[in-house]
């Protein structure tokens, strides 16, 4: 299982957030989130979950690999799992 998480530096609604992705499959990502973080599936953003800062250490302790934002994006793209914002906005499903 390879689940990646970047640092919680993304501000939104008064909190800081991380991105959590898998560079293997979305199914792997959903399983990790359900088992370890309890974030609802409806929070899935097409290719990632946003993880609040208070769950960052929980995710890492459960096995998420901390990486920089650029590496996270590069690995997601290389795996063919990256979904561009325009595809998400149009309601298209990810690959």
* Residue listed under structure tokens 């599936």: 41
pLDDT tens digits for range 6-39: 999 999 999 999 999 999 999 999 999 999 999 9
Q: What is the DSSP string of the chain?
A: --EEE--S-EEETTEEEEEEEESS-HHHHHHHIIIII---GGGB-SS-EEEEHHHHHHHHHTTPEE--HHHHHHHHHHTT----HHHHHTTPPP-
Least Cα distance to 15 among 45, 59, 50, 53 occurs for 53
pLDDT tens digits for range 62-86: 999 999 999 999 999 999 999 987 6
């Amino acid at each position: 299982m390879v689940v990646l998480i970047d640092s919680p530096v993304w501000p939104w609604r008064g909190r800081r957030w991380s991105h959590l992705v898998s560079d293997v499959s979305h199914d792997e990502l959903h399983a990790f989130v359900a088992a370890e973080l309890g974030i609802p599936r409806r929070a899935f953003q097409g290719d990632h979950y946003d993880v609040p800062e208070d769950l960052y250490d929980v995710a890492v302790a459960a096995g998420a690999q901390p990486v920089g934002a650029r590496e996270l994006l590069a690995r997601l793209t290389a795996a063919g799992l990256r979904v561009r914002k325009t595809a998400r906005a149009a309601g298209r499903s990810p690959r």
